[in-house]
Structure 1
Amino acid sequence: MNEPVNVIRNLEKALADDDFDWSLLLVGEDQTDKLAALTSDLRADHSETGDGKQISSGFSYLGIGPTIAWAHAVSDPFYLVMKAGAESFVRHWRKIRPHVAKNGFHFVSLGVGTGQKDRIILEDLRAAKPDLFYLPVDMSSEMLRLGTHEAVRGIRFPMSQVLSVQLDFSLADNMEQLAEMFARLVGDDPLLYTLTGNTLANFDSDEEALDTISSVLRPQDRLLLEVATTTRIDAEAMKAAADEYHQTRAFTEFVTSALRYNTDLTIDPAMVQFCGFIEDDDALLVKIMFQNSGPDDLMMGLPDHTEVALKPKDTIRLYTTRKFSAKRLDRLMAACELTLVENAHSQFRRTRKPTPFGLDLLLLAPKSATTGKRSVADEMWAR
């Protein structure tokens, strides 16, 4: 009797001549668990500073509505961080590329975004390794479809070498299981993990998020990290960092979209607050919050059909972001046992007034790899 053929083995042949717009998605989580977690976060205690109820990182992009809102926001020329990132990425990647382009890496994209940066990386990695796997990972299946299609569009990258994975990679157990699965998939071939778009800044704890990723890196693997940076930590820079996100209506529509699509709360843009803070004397923290500025309770219907009273001055934290100093980045690398392989840096030059803000693209290796020790501070201040 013939042995049954696994459906996965026949899938490539089945889709090869089909011009329908298929996407292959490996789902790693029960979506009801994610909805329950979001509901629980929206029931948290009263806080006037954005430290109670929240839309945590990842949930901001969950669902088709927030995905569309994100796509609109990133195309808005007034969203200055995203605009600067798109403009500088090719130049930054050109400096990083010699360290990875010829080493036969497979490509793991953590938080695929629009897919435009992935396309640039994918095209260069493919030149050295035509059989590489492209492995985008995101908590939002809608973001995966949007970003993956943009990444492969125009470069004729075969979908048979693409595996999208729906997973919350901020959870340590998830990341461990993901890395083990990828290791079985590629064997000893090196993996290039990427976390671009200043995504590290969106987590409650940037150190915990970076450690979760760095802990799964094998000696041959590398991590490409893109972050927004600042050369000053003071009250003026703190205010400027908050104002930067306040300038675009499209970004406000995005950060409120998860609340709009998962509750019945009426969103008044006047109740959206952009607040800057100095965090640990080495980073600028921006919290974007919805705050009940009226005199009465606001009743908010949750996904489980229960209601929560949002009392006067109570907040829902919608989004967190940061600008990192060189000192903060060096501290994070030391804590997560990462070494700097290469750093590409540029300052914002969009106004007549000097600005302390910029963007850095860092290529990092695990401490177990044989690389020389370098400092982000040295690299930034050398310019």
Structure 2
Amino acid sequence: MPSDDRQSVGRLQQAIEESDFAWSLCLIGEDQSHKLAALADDLRGGPSNTGDGKQITSGFAYWGIAPTVAWAHACNDPYYPVMQQSIESFPQRWRRVRAKLAEMPYHYVSLGVGTGSKDRQILHDLLTANPDLLYMPVDMSAEMLRLGMRESLKGVSIPRRQMVPVQLDFAIEENLVELRRLLEAVVGAEPILFSLLGNTMANFDDDVRLLGLLTRLLRPQDRFLLEVATTDELNDDLAAGAAEEYERSRAYGEFVTSALMHYTDLTINMDNVVYRGSVEGDRALRVKIIYQNRTGGDLRFMLPDRTRVTFPDRDTIRLYLTRKYARRGLDGMLDSLGVRKLHGMHSGLAAHRSAQPFGMNLLLFATGETTAARPPQTSRAEEIWSSYRT
């Protein structure tokens, strides 16, 4: 960077540091009009009474100020125990896992910042070993970044110049390649702790593929922190119990319908929100949340581009997808991705009145000794990934 450019950046950083106003710099990694077009395409899916046609995919459920605010409210709802108890139990689980991290000056990359409360705990501890750490929260929603960072920095002493929020959809392989390039340019070979917390992985259709893509970010000196919701058993009764756990929360229902309300002109009837639980092979309990037309006649709704979509009677729109993973299968999932588990910490949710065998696991892992589980090189993106692994 030319010296004049460095001076300009330095002056900007100094002005932000000295201001009492809540300025924050954010790197925008994607054209938001393209994201809006992708959302509209997903809502044009064919008819299905099972939530397999029209859909709002994971990142779009949080995209925009209304879904972001609805999510924050849901996380504070005592009738939504998955997230509330996950947040409450995190400090204890993190302390146990933190003891297994090597005493190295890690930087911190948070993939899906959420409410920011968990990042605050991690930052507090990592800053002790590395006061110069880079904090890089990454999220598809710029609004979620703003909300999450505000919470993550409460009581945390870190200069604003060390915070680099990045608006980016990390489920796209090419985006991760560019994220890796950015990190290499900013921190070089210094170790990084990555995190994917709050059961975020469970919200993606191809969840294992997502985790496989994210683990490619890892170099031998890096570490990855993964949090997932778990179940001790897999059966239809527990699947129904998992669905009912979400259905109890009015605030959660308002969250899962907020994107549909925000990006279409449908009049939302909360009685038409359906929670369906099922057993997903031998790996997880799967909960699909759908919105169903139960009016007895066909409807039409408008998309952001002003086109109209037919919504036949009994047709559905999938609002959200989540899972509770079988605890016994977690190690095998990590092994299949060629990574090495360093530690795991489980916290049960048995204190909840349902007394279901549900809980949260926090896993710390590193890159493995072998790359046998990685797919063959078939793209330019894969060639670039390989250059980082050598």
The Cα shift of 1:335 comes to 2.3
Q: 2:190 matched to which residue of 1?
A: 189
Output aligned runs, 1:188-207, within 5 Å: 188-207=189-208
Native 8 Å contact 1:219 1:368 kept in 2: no
Q: 1:5 matched to which residue of 2?
A: 5
Indicate the SS of the match to 1:39.
helix
Native 8 Å contact 2:16 2:160 kept in 1: no
Indicate the SS of the match to 2:103.
coil
Q: 2:127 matched to which residue of 1?
A: 126
Task: Name the Cα RMSD after superposition.
Answer: 1.4
2: CA distance between counterparts of 1:101 and 1:107? 14
Native 8 Å contact 2:107 2:135 kept in 1: yes
Native 8 Å contact 1:293 1:313 kept in 2: yes
With the length of structure 2 as denominator, give the TM-score of the two structures: 0.92
Q: 2:275 matched to which residue of 1?
A: 274
Indicate the SS of the match to 1:21.
coil
Q: 1:32 matched to which residue of 2?
A: 33
Q: 2:101 matched to which residue of 1?
A: 100
Indicate the SS of the match to 1:43.
coil
Aligned residues: 368
1:4 alignment partner AA: D
Output aligned runs, 1:295-310, within 5 Å: 295-310=296-311
Cα separation, partners in 2 of 1:245 and 1:354, compared to 1, 3 Å = closer
The Cα shift of 1:294 comes to 2.0
Q: 2:361 matched to which residue of 1?
A: 360
Deviations 1:21-67, CA, capped at 9 Å, x for gaps: 10110000000000000000000111111111110011001111111
1: CA distance between counterparts of 2:39 and 2:138? 20
Native 8 Å contact 1:207 1:335 kept in 2: no
Native 8 Å contact 1:241 1:276 kept in 2: yes
Indicate the SS of the match to 1:5.
helix
Indicate the SS of the match to 1:204.
coil
The Cα shift of 1:332 comes to 2.0
Native 8 Å contact 1:101 1:124 kept in 2: no
Greater shift after overlay, 88-97 or 322-331? 322-331
Output aligned runs, 1:1-383, within 5 Å: 4-6=4-6, 7-100=8-101, 102-351=103-352, 354-368=355-369
The Cα shift of 1:102 comes to 2.2
Consecutive unaligned residues of structure 2, counting only runs of 5 or more, are 371-390
1:363 alignment partner AA: L
1: CA distance between counterparts of 2:55 and 2:330? 26
Deviations 1:272-299, CA, capped at 9 Å, x for gaps: 0000011122210000000112211111
2:78 alignment partner AA: P
2:71 alignment partner AA: W
The Cα shift of 1:3 comes to 5.2
The Cα shift of 1:82 comes to 0.7
Indicate the SS of the match to 2:4.
coil
1:56 alignment partner AA: T
Consecutive unaligned residues of structure 1, counting only runs of 5 or more, are 370-383
Cα separation, partners in 2 of 1:45 and 1:5, compared to 1, 3 Å = same
1: CA distance between counterparts of 2:353 and 2:35? 45
1: CA distance between counterparts of 2:251 and 2:229? 20
Indicate the SS of the match to 1:250.
helix
2: CA distance between counterparts of 1:25 and 1:291? 37
With the length of structure 1 as denominator, give the TM-score of the two structures: 0.93
Native 8 Å contact 1:55 1:319 kept in 2: yes
Indicate the SS of the match to 2:155.
coil
1: CA distance between counterparts of 2:102 and 2:197? 18
Indicate the SS of the match to 1:324.
strand
